[in-house]
Amino acid sequence: MSVIYNSKHYKKTFRNKVYIHEINQKSAFFLFMISPKLLMLLQNFPKSEIKSFRKFIQSPFHNENDDLIILFEIIEKQIKKDNQALKENTNLTKEIVWKKIKGNSPYHDEQMRRMSSDLIKKIYSFLSYQQYQKNQLNELITLLPLINTPQMDKHFSGILRQIELIQKKCLIQNADSHLENYKIENNKFTKLEIQGKKLKTFENLENLDFHLDCFYICKKLKNYCDVLAYSNFQSVKPNIRLFPDFLNYLSTSEYLQEPSIKAYFLIAHMLLSPKDESIFQNLKIHLDDNYVIFPQPELKSLYIYLINYCIDTKINNGQSEYFKALFEIFKIVIEKEIMFNDGLLAPQDYKNIISVGLHIKEFDWVENFIQNYTNRLPKESQDNDLSYNLAKVYFHKKDYENVIEQLRSVEYKNLAYTMGGRLMLLKTYYELKELDALESLLDSYSIYLRRNKLISREVKQQLMNGIRFTRKLSSLAPYDKKGIQKLKDQINNCKALAAKKWLLEKVGEME
């Protein structure tokens, strides 16, 4: 009996064996690399802080282990050479790094791992130290109880004067500032108790109690607002404890005079009573009037409540007039630099602002925004973002020649831009009556969609339907009233359809 080998099966099996061998080899390689946790930490270390950390770790006060200095310098050198392939760098295997640090001493894996762990701890200490040093007020407040003795009266008074000077220059008034004031007043009151004098006033005790209440109430309100926001889109709700009649109590209390407490109080009521549009307006006015008292990250969170109210509560429920209100909020958060993180604008926020501006036909403002703020996006996509979004503006302005010109500059590495750009070009050819170019694009776009396996079935179906109806639209005679009505009905009845609004507009023009 002869044996017949299935060559296809054999090749497949052989390839699988090679593949498994490669995987095992790669896994083994990683076992001999120094700590991935350490590499990841240093790879994402702020470049602006590298010099400062070198001084930190070289200081005998912060570090007495010279081996950690060498280990840091070895990794830093490799980061400068090739930041992307750091985890696969053969110069960072444990044995090679050990030899650079310990010379010809026998390799000890436990010591090597301990060195990596110790360096991670030093990095953590440095980052904490840097953060601490950035807040001079907290540094001084931390110092107060350490010098709160009769022998240090002059030092205590001097530190208090420095604190008061900083507070006069700082406009921030939020939960954290109330906590700072609580600590200051508590130290003042403790000072009076240490002196043992008969108290003529309890001003410090009253103040520290007030600021403690403000801190608690503000944080509690913020947590409650988060609960209400999560309950809008999640079935599981966080469980936080509010004392009975919490909001009613606050509505007539002196605490509501505190801007931060009032902000979260209004947000809670806005979420509880979404139909009462006056709360939204009052919150917007309150934030506009008091934006200087909030740190930027918190202010951004507060404005996001307004943005989400416009989108989720109003626009998504058919109240399209709130596009205008949403646009006005976007203008505020851009002009006052509220929407930025470390000077950068998130790509999704950038796209949303453009979409809303185009929807309400604020073309000049949007074009100016694109020209002035695209450079605040991540650098790798700025040129594409500029060209693609300017093309969108020109399309809405019916400046179709400029649409084609801008789209020529777009590099279609991004799948969203590839699909969106071709769809925009398709509509532009139709508007310009470039029927031959349109027909050619319809054919090539169909082939592209059928062959592309990265596009989801749902999106592919929407685009294919868009192509199909555009083809029908371009071949429809203006006098064919029955055909026009039939096409209109088909478009209306199609649920998975890209460019549906535009297609209906074009059919409407033929009626």
CA 270 centroid distance within chain: 24
Between helix 382-396 and helix 400-407 the angle, nearest 10°, is: 160
Q: Are 378 and 347 in contact (CB under 8 A)?
A: yes
- Name which of 212, 214, 302, 226 is nearest 261 in CA terms: 214
Domain locations in the chain as residue ranges: 7-134, 137-214, 414-511
Q: Could you give the CA distance from residue 242 to residue 231 in angstroms, rounded to a whole number?
A: 16
Q: Could you give the CA distance from residue 127 to residue 260 in angstroms, rounded to a whole number?
A: 29
The reported pLDDT for the residue numbered 33 is 77
CB burial of residue 241 (10 Å; 0-12, 13-18, 19+) = exposed
Q: Are 388 and 406 in contact (CB under 8 A)?
A: yes
Whose tokens are 């309100």? That residue is: 221
What are the structure tokens assigned to 335, written together? 């002009």
CB burial of residue 445 (10 Å; 0-12, 13-18, 19+) = buried
The reported pLDDT for the residue numbered 241 is 86
The reported pLDDT for the residue numbered 15 is 37
Alpha-helical (H) ranges within 291-343 are: 296-308, 322-335
Per-run averaged pLDDT (10 residues), the chain, 511 residues: 35 36 38 81 86 94 96 89 61 89 92 95 94 89 94 94 94 95 95 81 93 97 93 73 92 96 98 96 97 95 97 94 97 96 92 96 97 93 92 97 95 88 96 96 95 92 96 92 95 95 94 84
- Nearest 5°: phi and psi at 33? -80, 155
